Chains A and B, each alone.
Chain A
Amino acid sequence: MHNLIKVVAVCGFCLSVSLGCKQTLPKEALALSADSLKLRQLQTRRFETNSDTRVVRATVGVLQDLGYNLEETESTLGIVTGSKDRNAVETGQVVGVIFFGALTGSALPIDTKQKIKASAVIRKNAKNTSYILVRVNFHRIVWNSRNAISKLERLEDPKLYQDFFTRLSKSVFLEANSI
């Protein structure tokens, strides 16, 4: 009798997990949020030039500087995307996993590799052609030591974008002066 209760409890738990995990799209996924404008400002810069081709080339140059391989370019719409595969091992996580393993005797997976993807859209303003707008964004996929995806996330650290645009400004300058 005691066992039967256990079985029922385990099955009930499994059933609730399987039903509870029936994933649905979060309501806010395709709606503009309060953060949208902030994010747009973070990810966009203006360049005072009338040549979008020059800015596209400069963007390609920066991505190459940063070790990205180009995946797609579209000149009419001004789209450049690139990706890079890199190591994703973090010391903090490794120490945590070793500590946990020592306590419980079970090994947790650690993050091992990641693919970072960058995508930039370069466009002229339809009314005012004296400047070009560049919007860039990054995201990454992280795999763990069991080769399963452990993270899918957008990279939204302001510093990342500041750094990128600092490099892009330099690159636009270098392009303008044919260096």
Chain B
Amino acid sequence: MIFPKYFLITFIKLLLSGVILFAINGCQVDSREQALKTTASQVKLRAMQTRAFDTKDQITMLRTAIATLQDLGFIIDKADASIGTCSATKYGKHNFGRPYALKMTITVRPRGKNQSLVRANAQYNLQAIEEPTPYRDFFVAFEKAIFLKAHNVD
């Protein structure tokens, strides 16, 4: 044998840890590229994050969004009534107790004469949420809150 066994094992260890690092981080070469990086297309993202509602009362929409976020366990960080925006953070736990941070921004803007557009975008720990299900869940909760408001139950 040319190499002692020890070197061979060390080499295998290094190689495998490299493979593991690669598996964890994917093939990111320059982390600055994250500034403009998304995985889903712009059109797809907008479609999954936006809903239209038949009302032009943007303040009520924003208040409802805020109430929905609170119902979902978020705490409100910032809001602005004149632009129609709101940001909130939720701390939660996975099944085995590992904590996670979820951050969400809601914007409300007019669409045509009688409609409003509500858009939500969210990040989970260090990733953008770019699949439709979480947004669908949010809007289901949001619709329920509007229903509550319309009937003046709270």
Partners in one complex: yes
Would A7 and B91 be within 8 Å (CB), given that A76-B59, A77-B79 are in contact?
A: no
A31 contacts partner chain B, Cβ-Cβ < 8 Å: yes
From 127 to 154 in chain B, residues with beta carbon under 8 angstroms from any chain A beta carbon are 129, 133-135, 137-138, 140-141, 144, 149, 152, 154
Within 8 Å by CB of A77, from B63, B92, B122, lies B63
Within 8 Å by CB of B73, from A7, A14, A18, A154, lies A154
CB-based contact A139/B60 at 8 Å: no
From 54 to 81 in chain B, residues with beta carbon under 8 angstroms from any chain A beta carbon are 59-60, 62-63, 66-67, 70-73, 75-81
Would A126 and B149 be within 8 Å (CB), given that A3-B5, A25-B102 are in contact?
A: yes
Within 8 Å by CB of A74, from B5, B72, B79, lies B79
A174 contacts partner chain B, Cβ-Cβ < 8 Å: no
- Chain B residues, CB < 8 A from A72: 77-79
Chain A residue with Cβ nearest B152: A127
- Chain B residues, CB < 8 A from A36: 71-73
A146 contacts partner chain B, Cβ-Cβ < 8 Å: no
CB-based contact A30/B63 at 8 Å: no
State the CA gap A164–B56 with chains docked (Å).
Answer: 36
CB-based contact B91/A139 at 8 Å: yes
Classify chain B: how many residues form its interface, as a range. Answer: 35 or more
Q: Which of A118, A138, A139 has the most CB of B within 10 A?
A: A139
B51 contacts partner chain A, Cβ-Cβ < 8 Å: no
B17 contacts partner chain A, Cβ-Cβ < 8 Å: yes
Chain A residue with Cβ nearest B149: A126
| A-side interface mostly | mixed
Chain A 112-144 per-residue mask, 1 if CB under 8 angstroms from chain B, else 0: 000001110101011110000101011101000
CB-based contact A77/B66 at 8 Å: yes
Q: Interface residue count for A (Cβ, 8 Å)?
A: 49
Chain A residue with Cβ nearest B134: A30
State the CA gap A179–B133 with chains docked (Å).
Answer: 51
A152 contacts partner chain B, Cβ-Cβ < 8 Å: yes
From 79 to 95 in chain B, residues with beta carbon under 8 angstroms from any chain A beta carbon are 79-82, 86, 89-95
Rounded to whole Å, the gap between the CB of A18 and the closest CB of chain B is 5
A26 contacts partner chain B, Cβ-Cβ < 8 Å: yes
- Chain B residues, CB < 8 A from A91: none
Chain B residue with Cβ nearest A133: B154
CB-based contact B75/A139 at 8 Å: yes
- Chain B residues, CB < 8 A from A133: 154
Of B8-16, B27-35, B36-44, B109-117, which binds chain A? B8-16
Q: Which of A32, A125, A149 has the most CB of B within 10 A?
A: A32
Chain A residue with Cβ nearest B141: A32
B124 contacts partner chain A, Cβ-Cβ < 8 Å: yes
Question: Could you list 8 examples of A-B contacts with CB < 8 Å?
Answer: A4-B12, A7-B9, A7-B16, A32-B144, A39-B73, A76-B59, A81-B75, A125-B152
Closest 6 CB pairs of A and B: A76-B81, A152-B99, A152-B91, A30-B137, A119-B75, A11-B16
